[in-house]
Amino acid sequence: MPRGAFPGTSPISQAEASGLPASAPIDVHTHVVPPDVVNGRRRYSQADVWFGRLYRNERRVLATADDLRRSMRRAGFGASVAFGFAWRDPGLCRANNDYVLQAAAASNDPGSRVLPFCVVPPGDVDFAAAEMERCQALGAVGVGELFPQGQGWNLNDRSAVRSFMDTVRSLGLILTVHTSEPVGHTYPGKDSTTPDAIWSVIEAAEGEVPIILAHWGGGLAFYELMPEVHQQAQNVYYDSSASHLLYRPDIFRVMGQLAPGRVLFGSDYPLIRQTRALRLASEAGLPPDDLAALLGGNARRLGLNTPASRDAV
Ligand SMILES: [Zn+2]
């Protein structure tokens, strides 16, 4: 069953050999940027403060869509959600979205499908609405990974947040948001989007927008032990992106208990190689059914297994 593997490798047999579920895993959190951004990182670092903070250092890896596809074949992923960087500038968002949408339309290899999300500056409500509508018409299935602090999104402006979320809801998109822990060590991407800050977004969604909180949600799941928080968070999902930089491996088991059915495997590629992220998750000691749910079962129930149905980019 060839799935575009490199010579000498077979994703299927790798997966089987490592005890992974038979169906190919899904990565809900990868970033790709156009080659011009990879080659011009200094220029783009000056254009966007948070991009500069994260990527001015040449050792921080950036990936193109071709890089992602190669990585997916090597690691045996059946699908990856791909988004650009959450630029503050609308024009850069639009250009990155076009690139992601083109990559998804070109990914007709059923063994390594790219599921496109779009990035928008969410505080720019009118632009964001128009851009999300444009991208949804071209195949985007979600919006994100949004970066509230980096993009200047005022989460305390309840009416603007509600307006943005109304658009996300009406377009039937999934929302992925970067979140951070209110305590612990600092790192370049640590921002002010802590569990209390993101709560206005969850409230505005009224349970009708699937929301994926990146990086395990900054700890919000703990508060799901409060019944009213749990009730409001029924459509909130948590992805495992960048887990290796933040938590002990126990996090996989604990999160599976706090939010059963709502944990999703995400790598944050190219921050970490997909092969390594997959290995770390599969070695975290989860029971087989829980591992299968994390690596794809939950994402499929969320609708993240369907091919890009529109390829009119
Ligand atoms: Zn993030």
pLDDT of residue 22: 53
**CB-proximal residues (5 Å) to ion ligand 1:** 178, 214
Q: pLDDT category, 190, cuts 50, 70, 90?
A: very high
Q: How far is the CA of 55 from the centre of ligand 1 (A)?
A: 13
- State the pLDDT confidence band at 2, using cuts at 50, 70 and 90: very low
What is the whole-number distance in angstroms between the Cα of residue 178 and the centre of ligand 1?
A: 4
Percent of the chain topping pLDDT 70: 89
Question: What average pLDDT does range 101-105 have in this prediction?
Answer: 95
- Under the banding of pLDDT at 50, 70 and 90, the label for residue 1 is very low
Q: What is the DSSP string of 127-185?
A: HHHHHHHHHHHTT--EEEEE-TTTTT--TT-HHHHHHHHHHHHHHT-EEEE----SSS-
Cα of 215 vs centre of ligand 1, distance in Å, is: 6
What per-residue confidence (pLDDT) applies to 21?
A: 47
pLDDT band at 23 (very low <50, low <70, confident <90, very high): confident
How close is the Cα of 241 to the center of ligand 1, in Å?
A: 7
Q: Give me the chain's average pLDDT, please.
A: 91
How does pLDDT run across 112-142, given as a tens digit for each residue? 899 999 999 999 999 999 999 999 999 999 9
* pLDDT tens column, 138-162: 999 999 999 999 999 999 999 999 9
Tokens 């990936």 -> residue: 63
103-115 mean pLDDT: 83
Question: Is pLDDT above 90 for 109?
Answer: no
- Residues 98, 131 contacting (CB under 8 angstroms): no
Q: What is the pTM of this model?
A: 0.91
- Of residues 266, 272, 277, 313, the one with CA closest to residue 80: 266
What tens digit of pLDDT does each residue of 293-305 get?
999 999 999 999 7
* Domains recognised in the chain with CATH numbers: 22-297 (3.20.20.140)
pLDDT band at 5 (very low <50, low <70, confident <90, very high): very low
